[in-house]
Structure 1
């Protein structure tokens, strides 16, 4: 589709003879929020890792801003400058302060001056309610605060696209809300995002497009009101019924 920020074109990925992704086709438009849902092992996280070039695709291609990033000649470092990725484990450097964690990539990868990187970091910390934590170390923060710092660290490089992989799954329930509020704020600011989540009510509220993956196949996609109220496939209905019974709505 013309104007897509990200195009995933017939992507296949195999691990040890097992097809984890099977011909994925997906277009992501600028400022769109796309949620990937499905059971564990359906391929959601692997798809994000392929987009960030943490995994190589076996077939198909991925285009970012019209450039094929899965071309072996593509500069991986240049591609990742345009992407921010946040995992369920916070992956903060424990020996660095919050400020140092946030400014590391802008300074070393993007060659931003220390003063500029720190000014931007302080602005982001203030924006997301952590202005008093710049000098703190990760083990002095709650899980929710650590995940917020991880998101801020990804934002500090001013990415074109944010990838969020189950960013609330490692958090206690009372800490989930503060992280979801950050994602909601990012949507309001126009950030393009692809996220995997088991928080179905949040997914329904924030997404422009919801994709249901099953056994490595993108079985169904559409606006949240369609997917959650009138899904076409029985597998989608079964998954949503299971989620509802588990109290995840």
Structure 2
């Protein structure tokens, strides 16, 4: 019997004040798979990620993590979030804590690890992403790219089953985008299971196993990046990509 997918969304609906943001959306993400969500602003990408991380309750449908129905009202969301890492576009680092303290907060407070153990693991990850010398700095002393890499390390330190990345380069200056994308490519090569929302089509082409185009809260088209980005079948997908090309972003 084959193992269930790491993530399974079935007929997920999300409504905000009468506005249907996700429309009976179905999506699976297999272990070690990288699925990239593309689509115009307001298409539902970020809302889907927030629903998966239980930051927003679904209005209907179900979400399963490793086969467990995590949107069951009886499920403890904090317990689920220990198995999911999420990185936001705005970094969300605590400004009054050093980089090292930001990264070790959850391992110590939530997982009960000793400070020395948590700091040793954090330093290993910071070394890997080239930030070991910034461990004792406060976030405002780091560049945007460095802050975002620190935010990724914070999500990785708890060894998540699934990593969610929400437009992680949109707040960065163009010259800083590359260092964050390089890190995500490394995670992909290491086998990390990821669900990524992005406007970076070139990055989606390089890193995705599968690209999903969202339109009006539903997945209108999905498939290998070379097909969806190169030869899309749906007129709406072609229209979206043409606008990206016209803006010089593909």
Q: Same fold (TM over 0.5)?
A: yes
In the alignment, what sits opposite 2:17? 16
Deviation track 1:9-47 (CA, whole Å, cap 9, x = no partner) reads 000000111100001100100000000000000000000
1:203 and 2:184 aligned: no
Displacement of 1:231: 1.2
Deviation track 1:97-117 (CA, whole Å, cap 9, x = no partner) reads 010000000001111110110
- Structure 1's unaligned 5+ residue stretches are none
1:216 and 2:217 aligned: yes
CA distance in 2, matches of 1:18, 1:246: 29
CA distance in 2, matches of 1:79, 1:105: 14
Residues matched between the structures, number = 249
SS in 1 for 2:32: coil
CA distance in 2, matches of 1:93, 1:228: 37
In the alignment, what sits opposite 1:53? 54
CA distance in 1, matches of 2:20, 2:61: 14
In the alignment, what sits opposite 2:114? 113
In the alignment, what sits opposite 2:171? 170
In the alignment, what sits opposite 2:123? 122
RMSD, aligned α-carbons: 0.8
List aligned pairs for 1:49-128, cutoff 5 A.
49-128=50-129
Following TM superposition, the consecutive aligned residue runs of length 4 or more in structure 1 with deviations greater than 3 angstroms are none
CA distance in 2, matches of 1:84, 1:2: 21
SS in 2 for 1:229: coil
CA distance in 2, matches of 1:217, 1:128: 35
TM-score for the superposition, normalised by structure 1: 0.99
SS in 2 for 1:57: coil
In the alignment, what sits opposite 2:136? 135
In the alignment, what sits opposite 2:42? 41
CA distance in 2, matches of 1:222, 1:151: 26
Displacement of 1:3: 2.7
- Structure 2's unaligned 5+ residue stretches are none
Displacement of 1:2: 5.2
In the alignment, what sits opposite 1:150? 151
In the alignment, what sits opposite 1:243? 244
In the alignment, what sits opposite 2:191? 190
In the alignment, what sits opposite 2:29? 28
CA distance in 2, matches of 1:23, 1:220: 14
CA distance in 2, matches of 1:129, 1:45: 28
Deviation track 1:55-86 (CA, whole Å, cap 9, x = no partner) reads 00011000000000000011111100000000
TM-score for the superposition, normalised by structure 2: 0.98
Deviation track 1:174-204 (CA, whole Å, cap 9, x = no partner) reads 0000000110010011100000111101101
